[in-house]
Structure 1
Amino acid sequence: MSVKIYEGKDLDVLIEKAKNELGDIEILYYEVEKAPGILPFFRKKKYRLFVTKKENTEENRVEHLEEEIKELKSLLVDLKENVTKLPSQQIVPSVPEHLEEKVVCAIPQIEEFTGDAVELINILIKKGVEPSIAVDIVRASCGLDIETEKLDLNTGTFKEALINAFKKKLKFTGEFTAEKGKQKIIAFVGPTGVGKTTNLFKIASKFVIDQDLNVGVISTDTFKVGGTQQARIYTSILNIPFFIATDQKKLKEIVENLSELDVILIDTVGRSHYDYFRLGEIKTILGGLNSSIDYVLLISCNYDTKEAMEIVNRYRSFFPISSLFFTKIDESSKPGILINAGIKSGIPLSYVSTGQRVPEDIKLLSPFVISDFLLGA
């Protein structure tokens, strides 16, 4: 990996300069220095930005968009001309709404399917699963129907088909666990308003009540109104210690003094995924710890897939995300985001929040749970 260093007085300018020179970049770290001066409050800042060119991945490779959209529109014309040739029970999925936003999405070819397979594809699309992903999922649970020479489900029920496919297509963390005497640190990161604090304490409850572990909570969020008070109430109920760390040095001191705890949960401040400077601040604060950290990224089910993937890709350019934790599924009619984000990112799925109650409203994600959400069970 080749690391390049940029120096200057404006961090945003440095980032844009790096993008112009290297293309798609990954921000590794940045430093802030204050130039010497008589008046400390008026000393100018100098930034040193460390970046590397991001390797192209299957999820992020979006090249030659104008030409691809023209080709895709041509395919749409051909598809419309041939719709009448499809059997009546087959449903051609609608064109993704974000096509005009220059996001290329392959049109699923459902002519190869028949019977229940076509119906299941349609159900998944209505639940917010992207058409191409819906086709891929259903294909994983199909066999050849001899009479029609097309693919149909080889399972007795839709649920069985989805469970079989999700076992092949998605990764799952299973329950968060820890061992006594082997301290684990978990940091909850994500945009403002996704429910990091509430869901952190749902996980804290699981560690304390279900696993009988010694747990502590540290918050680096001093911005949210009432956030600290809310955290103190939860920690009081669970009878676990709570601390506030405003900088890297303070956080390191607190963690070093909590060596007897089995689990430390860190609640970070919510930041927009478009705010590189603030994300860098979070990374700087957490970067002072000597211990390894599991980073859990929280995603609201109210996001569409495009925005969810923007969040995932920008956050993991700063942090090695270990799992996706979904929230507010009770406020969404499109649980397909669970599938879309899981398959597109390749990151394991952990939990989903089903409401505001602590600790009840949380489910461990699994092929069984996701199939229930999609089928309305």
Structure 2
Amino acid sequence: MEVKVYEGYNLEELIEKAKKELGEDIKILHYETIEEKRFFFLKGRKKYKLFVEPVEDDEPIEPVIKFEELLDKIEDIIDKKIQTTLPKYAQNMATPENLPPHIAPNTVEDKASKVLSELTGDALELANLLIEKDVQPEVAKKVVMAACGLDIDTNKWDLNTVTYKEALIKGIKENIKFTGAIDKIIEKPGIFAFIGPTGVGKTTNLFKIASQLVINKNKKVAVISTDTFKVGAAQQARTYANILNIPFYSISESKKLKNIIEDLKEMDFILIDTVGRSHYDYWRLGEIKEILTGIQQEIKNILTISCNFKNEDAFEVVYKYQTFFPIHSLFFTKIDETKKPGLLLNLPVETRIPVSYLSTGQRVPEDLKVLSPEVIASYILGE
């Protein structure tokens, strides 16, 4: 297929021109920004080069139908494979669809009452408070039990700490692993890939970390973007990189990524920004995995999860991504957009995946916290 190149000073006009000439169904492969040179102190105009591939509409119908049928069959095979290799926490997640027909799912209140039947006093109060924050009953019990002792009068478990926060911190330390800030990594360079669904804030939060490493830690940092699909994504990342005066690369091939990383071996950290993909889009997830393979150094994958996700959606994201990538840590975003941050406990307790960071807003680099038992306890209790 022939690739058409359009040059001009307005990216939107170039896209419209391509559509008029080639039809609405075009595939935007990539675009570049060129600063025209001027004399002395005069600033040059910004010029764009747009690479477009036309989509032919005269392809025979029969092969397309057969391909889609094959695609459906392959996706069914992948689904079955995922179900047989799910992590333990995912296998134990009962849904109305997989319950026997004569058993109706319990209400949240009934389920919580049964799960918490062994607790009493302040322990029961704290567990119910956690459930109000959208913490799952089993997780609430597990966390609270770590700070309990047996009450002789009732033969049930009650808190052995003075405050709820002390109990919660104790339970979090017992049940959640923490990586700390990524500058604790010893090997050089430390390579981290930020992966996750569309719209969770991967790019913004990657540059929050990059800013802290460069400004506060005086580290040598480079950023590589593999997001060549979304118009403006690479340009946004390049703008951040220019502000920090750090190397930035935009790539779409595994071989090119490998060569760039070899050239950046003197860096302290290499942060890779990946394209956002639905956790149900197996093909696109496979593309991301293919780009990241072939690198000799270990890539630590940080999975970004929005705190405003529903529990079931968040668990789906984790175990679908986990079938493609080894997850180094969970990075929680958009805590400022929810009043019920139960995911801060539910995901790490049930999946046993360590946690690293929490995004508290849009400001770069201020709105970022390294997760700790105290930080999670404060947000769960609404402090």
- Aligned-partner Cα distance in 2 for 1:366–1:24: 35
How far did residue 252 of structure 1 move?
1.8
Q: What is aligned with 2:248?
A: 242
Deviations 1:92-151 (A, max 9, x none): x625xxxxxxxxx77643332222112111110111101121122112211122333322
The 3 A distance-change label for structure 1 pair 278 and 176 is same
- Aligned-partner Cα distance in 2 for 1:243–1:191: 22
- Aligned-partner Cα distance in 1 for 2:241–2:99: 56
Is 1:133 matched up with 2:139?
Answer: yes
Deviations 1:131-179 (A, max 9, x none): 1211221122111223333221110000000000011111111111256
Query: Does structure 2 conserve the Cα–Cα contact (< 8 Å) formed by 1:188 and 1:267?
Result: yes
User: Which letter maps to 1:25?
Assistant: I
Which SS does the other structure have where 1:143 is aligned? strand
- Aligned-partner Cα distance in 2 for 1:211–1:125: 39
Q: What is aligned with 2:4?
A: none
Is 1:314 matched up with 2:320?
Answer: yes
1:25 pairs with one of 56, 77, 82 = 82
- Aligned-partner Cα distance in 1 for 2:372–2:101: 36
Q: What is aligned with 1:94?
A: 109
Q: TM-score, normalised by structure 1?
A: 0.77
Query: Does structure 1 conserve the Cα–Cα contact (< 8 Å) formed by 2:123 and 2:144?
Result: yes
Query: Does structure 2 conserve the Cα–Cα contact (< 8 Å) formed by 1:195 and 1:327?
Result: yes
- After TM superposition, list the pairs within 5 Å mapping 1:156-235 onto structure 2: 156-177=162-183, 182-235=188-241
User: Which letter maps to 1:292?
Assistant: E
Which SS does the other structure have where 2:117 is aligned? helix
How far did residue 256 of structure 1 move?
1.7
- Structure 2 residue ranges without an equivalent (≥5): 1-65
How far did residue 224 of structure 1 move?
2.7
1:16 pairs with one of 76, 80, 83 = 76
User: Which letter maps to 1:237?
Assistant: I
How far did residue 330 of structure 1 move?
0.2
Q: What is aligned with 1:151?
A: 157
Which SS does the other structure have where 1:338 is aligned? helix
Q: What is aligned with 1:339?
A: 345
Is 1:114 matched up with 2:145?
Answer: no
Is 1:60 matched up with 2:75?
Answer: no
Q: What is aligned with 1:294?
A: 300
User: Which letter maps to 1:326?
Assistant: F
- Aligned-partner Cα distance in 2 for 1:172–1:246: 32
How far did residue 72 of structure 1 move?
6.2
Is 1:275 matched up with 2:281?
Answer: yes
How far did residue 372 of structure 1 move?
0.3
Q: What is aligned with 1:89?
A: none
How far did residue 302 of structure 1 move?
1.0
The 3 A distance-change label for structure 1 pair 199 and 320 is same
Query: Does structure 2 conserve the Cα–Cα contact (< 8 Å) formed by 1:302 and 1:329?
Result: yes
- After TM superposition, list the pairs within 5 Å mapping 1:243-258 onto structure 2: 243-258=249-264
How far did residue 24 of structure 1 move?
3.3
User: Which letter maps to 2:269?
Assistant: V
- Aligned-partner Cα distance in 2 for 1:289–1:281: 15
User: Which letter maps to 2:109?
Assistant: S
Query: Does structure 2 conserve the Cα–Cα contact (< 8 Å) formed by 1:107 and 1:132?
Result: no
Q: What is aligned with 1:348?
A: 354
Query: Does structure 2 conserve the Cα–Cα contact (< 8 Å) formed by 1:108 and 1:135?
Result: no
1:366 pairs with one of 364, 369, 372 = 372
Q: TM-score, normalised by structure 2?
A: 0.76
Deviations 1:349-370 (A, max 9, x none): 1111000000000111111011
Query: Does structure 2 conserve the Cα–Cα contact (< 8 Å) formed by 1:11 and 1:277?
Result: no
The 3 A distance-change label for structure 1 pair 285 and 137 is same
Which SS does the other structure have where 2:252 is aligned? coil
- Aligned-partner Cα distance in 2 for 1:59–1:339: 16
- Aligned-partner Cα distance in 2 for 1:116–1:62: 28
- Aligned-partner Cα distance in 2 for 1:179–1:342: 21
- Aligned-partner Cα distance in 1 for 2:113–2:81: 27
Aligned residues: 315
Deviations 1:199-227 (A, max 9, x none): 00111122212322111000011223332
